[in-house]
Amino acid sequence: MSKKEIYAVKGLSVPETPASAQEPKPWKQTQMVGKGIPRVDAYERVSGTAVYPSDVLLPDMIYGAVLRCPHPHAQVKKVDVEAASKMPGVRAVITGDTPEARVEWTYSKEARSSLFDPHCRFEGEPVAAVAAETPYQAEDALRAIRVEYDVLPFVVDERDALKENAPSVHGAGNVLKTEKYERGQVDRGFREADVVLEENYRTECQLHTPMELHGCVAKWDGDRLTLWESTQGVYAVQAEVAEVLKLPLSKVRVVGHYMGGGFGSKLKAGKYTVIAALLAKKSARPVKLFLTREETYLAVGNRPPNNMRLKAGVKKDGTLTALDFSCTGTGGAYPSGGTSLVDWLVRDLYKCPNVRTECTDIAIHTGPARPFRAPGHPQGAWVLEQMMDALAEAIKMDPVELRLKNIPNFSQGKEGNPPYSSTGLKQCLEEGAKAFQWKVARSKALAPGETGRIKRGVGMASCLWVVGGGWPPSTVILKLFPDGSLNLNMGASDIGTGTKTVMALVAAEELGIPLGKIEIEHADTGTTQYATPSGGSKTVPTEAPTVRAAAISVKQQLLEMASKELKLDAASLVFQEGSIAPAKDPSKSVKITDLSELKKRGVVVGIGYRGPNPENKAIIPFAAQFCEVEVNTKTGEVKILRFVSTNDSGRVMDRLTYDSQVIGGITMGIGLAMTEYRVLDRDQTGRMLNRNWHDYKLPTALDVPLEMTSLPVDREDSQANSVGAKGLGEPVTIPTAPAIANAVYNATGIRITETPISPERLCRLLAEKRKEG
């Protein structure tokens, strides 16, 4: 390929360049953004050449393993590592008695603990760790460690934890905190209602199951520590490890180029990270420490179980008059948001003047929760969206209609009631209903005279996600080389969502550089810029405007160079397909790759910073999902036939990664609705019983419908940021479970108020219903 072809393909014109200090205008028509372009790292991912942290192999590397407390509640009396230390291949053993390992660990701000806390408050707390030449030797050494425990009374179910005489997790009562919210006059609201309904609900604890396990490789060079960690945020890991080990930030380098999923469970470092670093220090060898699946199920997070009650009032015309919600939940042994955001949809999704919520977070002897894709929201949606369905039926209104009647255009739940920068909830509902053929499907499902054991049903639910706008800070650096190729340098992780692809598209869009000429450096605290972890559906709305700003800076500098070369004012110059020319006389163009100053300097560096979000605006993504199910009304088997998901997440940045989020979100929601729940041996040992992939049932390819339609409401939100996109990764999983529950109700007349909708549960309920007649 000749050099000339590299920069700017034919037909790739670039948007106008704002003068410095001027805000860029929204893109008018895009050439790259919004299309369905295969991922920039698809080859590496599919061929296996991508090196994930768990693939890292260093010379002299050895293997770490962690011994964990097998009891939900115990006091470690003695740890005897003598035999283990002498075993073949063993290079380091650490316990709570090892001086360097006596470091503080904070599961959460409210409750301090230590790395090897002798007071083990959940099954899976680390008690000791070893490093050995092979994983097998490490495992053998663990088995040779003798631990004496005082086994203590436990409580592993939050529904038992408030009973009198329940064992205490932290030495007092087990209530961690109660949060209350109230607006309007709830009791008056209920008096104004024509229909008031009240119901109890529960969602079970869902376990984090990213493909790649949690862990890292740790290596010391003198006093400098490098960690290859499977993480959603390298800088978050750096900060935590530096604090715990009392190291300067500059001495901790965290690399996380590829990572196999996190869903919220890898927003922070784990005890395993610090343990790996300590083992590496002690053995003077690089140490790889990845947990087993069983360990991750016990120790690194889950979606808290929640017990919820909702009382709702509605007028005959569909006006909501009052919502009264309460819930309990548990984030396990340390405060970890056991009820956080569970009430958010009740507060904010529908127009309602009178709302009261009360959430009580409870401590129990189980592994701490970690944020789980849209924390709190799927639980709250399970309640609110089933209630909306029931209210609609009670006032004989179509459920879509009822929701359409109650769409707010400002946030009722947020301080100061900011207006939404954009709201596409109406479009989501209308366009979704149309694409799904809701009316037809519903009338068919409701058609009388169906006698067979197989019944069909349709259901829907909608949602919003509490934050969709991303936030500062972020810094992105673009390096344009004299041959017209580009380096994109950012600290953010691509957690599998396609961040790299989207950012390359933004750079390509703004600079007219073909994707093949863009290389990305990212997620490395040693070489890339500060970024907060990829979570909260923030990565696209945070990083994409930053990339755009950096690209504009590159263009501005190129215009300056051309202005010198052409001896014309920069403001009179424009880009045209790889060249810069006077706007008035395109024939006098100079090719960018011919700019002498660029050749001399060797690079143009454009730096983009993420500016603040607009003041007093709520940037919120919305969604609605529709589904159809088939129920065997004798056995309780449910087959999900199809899903339509409509999402308003602002501009569609890339159609393929967008649709992947939708499909993945629905799949995860099906897991919560149908098959996934933690089982603890509640009354005997308190231990987890389903800690493997057979007993903890993730949905398989046969459990999700072939027909999953993603239908974006593709409207750029120009108030939100310079690319017009809002977050997507979390709203996609919020309405799924209640949409299924509503469809099952539609088919059977049975309200399933507790997850999962398993044949066990539904068969029992169907039998009870038949008995009642």
Instruction: Point out which residues bind another protein (CB under 8 A).
Output: 70, 135-136, 139, 292, 453, 632, 634-637, 639, 674-675, 679-685, 687, 689-691, 694-695, 697, 699-703, 756, 758-761, 763-764, 766-767
What is the closest distance, in whole angstroms, from the C-beta atom of residue 229 to another protein in the complex?
Answer: 22
- Comparing CB distances to another protein, the nearer of 309 and 761 is 761
The identity of residue 149, as a single letter, is: Y
- Comparing CB distances to another protein, the nearer of 70 and 473 is 70
Widest distance between CA atoms in the chain: 91
DSSP 755: S
- Taking a C-beta distance cutoff of 8 angstroms, is the pair 529, 489 a contact? yes
- Taking a C-beta distance cutoff of 8 angstroms, is the pair 74, 255 a contact? no
- Count other C-beta atoms under 10 Å from residue 221's C-beta: 9
What is the closest distance, in whole angstroms, from the C-beta atom of residue 66 to another protein in the complex?
Answer: 13
What is the closest distance, in whole angstroms, from the C-beta atom of residue 180 to another protein in the complex?
Answer: 35
- Comparing CB distances to another protein, the nearer of 130 and 255 is 130
- Comparing CB distances to another protein, the nearer of 26 and 70 is 70
Q: What φ, ψ does residue 127 adopt, rounded to 5°?
A: -115, -30
DSSP 355: E
- Comparing CB distances to another protein, the nearer of 43 and 136 is 136
- Comparing CB distances to another protein, the nearer of 34 and 705 is 705
Distances (CA, A) of 416 to 413, 617, 618: 9, 10, 10
Q: What φ, ψ does residue 525 adopt, rounded to 5°?
A: -70, -15
Separation CA 249–CA 242 (nearest Å): 6
What is the closest distance, in whole angstroms, from the C-beta atom of residue 113 to another protein in the complex?
Answer: 24
Distances (CA, A) of 516 to 356, 508, 520, 614, 692: 54, 10, 11, 34, 41
Separation CA 466–CA 569 (nearest Å): 46
What is the closest distance, in whole angstroms, from the C-beta atom of residue 154 to another protein in the complex?
Answer: 15
- Comparing CB distances to another protein, the nearer of 93 and 142 is 142
Q: Which helix (H) or strand (E) holds 513?
A: none
> How do beta strands 518-522 and 486-490 pair?
parallel
- Comparing CB distances to another protein, the nearer of 636 and 729 is 636
Separation CA 375–CA 359 (nearest Å): 14
- To 5 degrees, how large is the angle CA 17–CA 19–CA 25? 55
What is the closest distance, in whole angstroms, from the C-beta atom of residue 85 to another protein in the complex?
Answer: 20
What is the closest distance, in whole angstroms, from the C-beta atom of residue 511 to another protein in the complex?
Answer: 46
What is the closest distance, in whole angstroms, from the C-beta atom of residue 70 to another protein in the complex?
Answer: 7
What is the closest distance, in whole angstroms, from the C-beta atom of residue 263 to another protein in the complex?
Answer: 20
- Comparing CB distances to another protein, the nearer of 188 and 697 is 697
Residue whose token pair is 């959940």: 122
Q: How far apart are the first and last CA of the chain?
A: 77
What is the closest distance, in whole angstroms, from the C-beta atom of residue 702 to another protein in the complex?
Answer: 4
Bridge partners, residue 226, by sequence: 219, 253
- Comparing CB distances to another protein, the nearer of 505 and 708 is 708
Of 195, 199, 245, residue with least CA distance to 224: 245
